[in-house]
Structure 1
Amino acid sequence: MQVISGKVEKAKKVVTYGPEGIGKSSLAAQFPRPIFIDTEGSTTEMEVDRLPKPTSWEMLRQQVEWVKQQGSRFGTLVIDTIDWAEMLCVESICAKHQKNGVEDFGYGKGYIYVAEELGRFLNLLSDVIEAGIHVVLTAHAQIIKFEQPDEMGAYDRYQLKLGQKTGSRTAALVKEWADMVLFINYKTFSVATDKEGKKNKGQGGTRTVYATHHPAWDAKNRHGLPDEFPLDYRYLSHIFNGSGSANVSAPAQQQSSEGWSMQSPEGGGWVNTAPSQVYGQPQSPTQPDAGQPLAQEQQPSADEALKPHIPNDIPPSLRDLMVQHQVSENEIQIVVSNKGYYPMDTPISNYDKGFVEGVLVGAWQQVFQMIQETRNDLPFN
Structure 2
Amino acid sequence: MMAISWDSLTQKKRPKPPAILLYGPEKAGKTTLASEFPNAVYLQTEEGDGVLDIASMGKIESFGELMDAIGMLYEREHAYETVVLDSVTACQALVWAETGDRGDDKGNKKKRIEDFGYGKGYVYALAVWQEVLDGLNALRRDRGMTIILIAHSKIERFDDPETVGYPSRPVAAHLLTLREPDDRRQLHCVAEA
TM normalised by structure 1 equals 0.40
Q: CA RMSD in A?
A: 2.9
Mapping of residues 314-329 of structure 1, within 5 Å: none
Structure 1 residue 141 and structure 2 residue 153: aligned?
yes
Of residues 52, 55, 68 in structure 1, which corresponds to 2:58? 52
Asked if structure 2 preserves the Cα contact closer than 8 Å seen for 1:25 and 1:43, the reply is: no
Q: Distance in 1 between matches of 2:154 and 2:18?
A: 25
Of residues 123, 135, 141 in structure 1, which corresponds to 2:134? 123
Deviation at 1:49, TM superposition (A): 0.8
Deviation at 1:117, TM superposition (A): 1.1
Deviation at 1:83, TM superposition (A): 1.0
Q: Deviations over 1:282-309 (max 9, x none)?
A: xxxxxxxxxxxxxxxxxxxxxxxxxxxx
Q: Distance in 2 between matches of 1:146 and 1:116?
A: 30
Match of 1:114 in 2: 125
Residues 155 and 44 of structure 1, relative CA distance in 2, 3 Å threshold:
closer
Match of 1:95 in 2: 101
| SS in structure 1 at match of 2:132 | helix
**Higher-Rg member (1/2):** 1
Deviation at 1:23, TM superposition (A): 1.0
Mapping of residues 335-374 of structure 1, within 5 Å: none
Structure 1 counterpart of 2:31, one-letter code: S
Mapping of residues 104-253 of structure 1, within 5 Å: 104-130=115-141, 131-144=143-156, 156-163=167-174, 170=175, 173-174=176-177, 179=186
Deviation at 1:58, TM superposition (A): 0.9
- Tell me: higher relative CO, structure 1 or 2? Use CA pairs within 8 A at least 6 residues apart: 2
Deviation at 1:11, TM superposition (A): 1.1
Deviation at 1:95, TM superposition (A): 2.5
Asked if structure 2 preserves the Cα contact closer than 8 Å seen for 1:35 and 1:78, the reply is: yes
Could you tell me the percent identity over the aligned residues?
25
Asked if structure 1 preserves the Cα contact closer than 8 Å seen for 2:98 and 2:128, the reply is: no
Runs of 5+ consecutive residues of structure 1 not aligned to the other structure: 164-169, 182-217, 219-381
Matched pairs, number: 167
Structure 2 counterpart of 1:79, one-letter code: L
Structure 1 residue 73 and structure 2 residue 79: aligned?
yes
Residues 43 and 134 of structure 1, relative CA distance in 2, 3 Å threshold:
farther
